[in-house]
Amino acid sequence: MSIIQPATGEVSTQGSKLVGCGIIGFGKMGQIRAKAIAESGHGTVLATYDPGPIAPSLDITPVDTDLSVIEHPDVEAVFICTPNFRNKPLTIAALRAGKHVFCEKPPAMTVADVQEIMEVEQETGCALMYGFNHRQHESIKHAKCAIDSGEFGRILWMRGRYGKSVDESFFDGWRAKRELAGGGILLDQGIHMLDLLLYFSGGFDEVKAMVSNLFWELDGIEDNVFANFRSSKTGIVASLHSTMTQWRHLFSLEIFLSKGHIVLNGLNTSSNSYGDEILTMERNRLSTGGVDWTTPETKTYHIDTSWASEVDHFFGCIRNDTPVAEGCSSDALAVMQLIERVYAAG
């Protein structure tokens, strides 16, 4: 078995020992995480596993199996970047081995799966964080601060649209197979938008939805979801359209409040296919004396710092023994509960 030797005594620029990390699944996401870990100054990748070839230019030596990563004596934190069906068993195995875990979304296939994971998390006391990456975008953070400040009043309603186009090669991948993916576009991509709706609203208890596979016609793999949500506590209403028949990649989140609106169009991603990430915030006539709208505040975000922000938060929780604040298992449970209700309603 070939394993990278631990960097004995290696320290970060802050003088703290680097967190030894292992990555299971070294495709696109695994490599993104490896880069973020290296650039964070808080961690170092000691072992990786992927059933396919690993790019030699990354100078990371693979191990023989995923369990070799989990059992590596110098690995403190395991990053799980695998197809959906592997997320739950690998998370549980790593937690039981005493490792902190960062897992990509979705957390598992069902609510019951997430609840089982949370039981193991509580038993072990290890940090567990999920890759709800969109919370980490600077535009989202800016919007959240503005809303929490009360400057724009209370949220009345939200509308989220998140879509992409896929081609016939989609049929060849694991995402086109129900037993491996667990669901279609909602579980694959729409989960991010749904998490943001929860992040801003605090939760919903009423769900109405329509789910279809009208174009790709894959069993158990939806290509469109239209869902409406409402909170009986706050009165907030939200709508979601998650689609893979958009033909042009689209990200749009609109938040309308009692004193104005906050709109985010476009998103910085590794594919650069969603357009410029532009956040617009504007007060309404009621807050300007009924004369006119205020001049909108518009900001374009040119650099994606979300991967770095996410990893920094995870390492901070490990070093300081503090709870995960963004992307914790409770967040994962809440979004999976809504997803199950959407599928049941649709």
Contact at 8 Å (CB) between 87 and 104?
Answer: yes
**Tokens 């914790």 appear where?**
328
The pLDDT mean for the chain works out to 91
Which one has a higher pLDDT value, 208 or 60? 208
What are 100's strand-pairing partners?
A: 77
Q: What is each CA distance from 232 to 120, 146, 165, in whole angstroms?
A: 32, 24, 35
Instruction: Report pLDDT for 61.
Output: 63
Backbone angles phi, psi at 239, to 5 degrees: -125, 150
Average pLDDT over residues 32-53: 92
- Domain positions in the chain are 19-132+310-325, 138-267+269-302
Residue 2 has pLDDT above 60, yes or no: no
Two domains, one topology: 19-132+310-325 and 138-267+269-302: no
Collapsing DSSP to helix, strand or coil, 271 comes out as: coil
Q: Both tokens of residue 122? A: 């509580």
Average pLDDT over residues 203-210: 98
Collapsing DSSP to helix, strand or coil, 227 comes out as: strand
> 147: left (phi > 0), else alpha (psi -120 to 50), else beta?
alpha
Q: What's the pLDDT band for 71 if we cut at 50, 70, 90?
A: very high
Calculate helix-pair angle for 84-96, 111-124, nearest 10 degrees: 20
Q: What is the distance between the alpha carbons of residues 213 and 141, in angstroms, rounded to a whole number?
A: 34
188 Cβ neighbours under 8 A, 6+ residues apart? 175, 181
Instruction: Report pLDDT for 288.
Output: 57
Q: Is the pTM of this model over 0.95?
A: no
Q: What is each CA distance from 45 to 10, 72, 78, 321, in whole angstroms?
A: 12, 12, 10, 21
Q: What is the distance between the alpha carbons of residues 153 and 304, in angstroms, rounded to a whole number?
A: 29
Give residue-wise pLDDT tens across range 267-289.
Answer: 998 888 999 999 999 998 776 55
22 Cβ neighbours under 8 A, 6+ residues apart? 45, 46, 47, 48, 49, 69, 70, 72, 75, 77, 78, 79, 99
Instruction: Report pLDDT for 36.
Output: 97
Residue 291 has pLDDT above 60, yes or no: no
Residue 12 has pLDDT above 80, yes or no: no
Give residue-wise pLDDT tens across range 99-116.
Answer: 999 999 999 999 999 999
The CATH number given to 19-132+310-325 is: 3.40.50.720
Contact at 8 Å (CB) between 284 and 259?
Answer: yes
What are 22's strand-pairing partners?
A: 47, 78
97 Cβ neighbours under 8 A, 6+ residues apart? 70, 71
* Overall fold of domain 138-267+269-302: Dihydrodipicolinate Reductase; domain 2 (3.30.360)
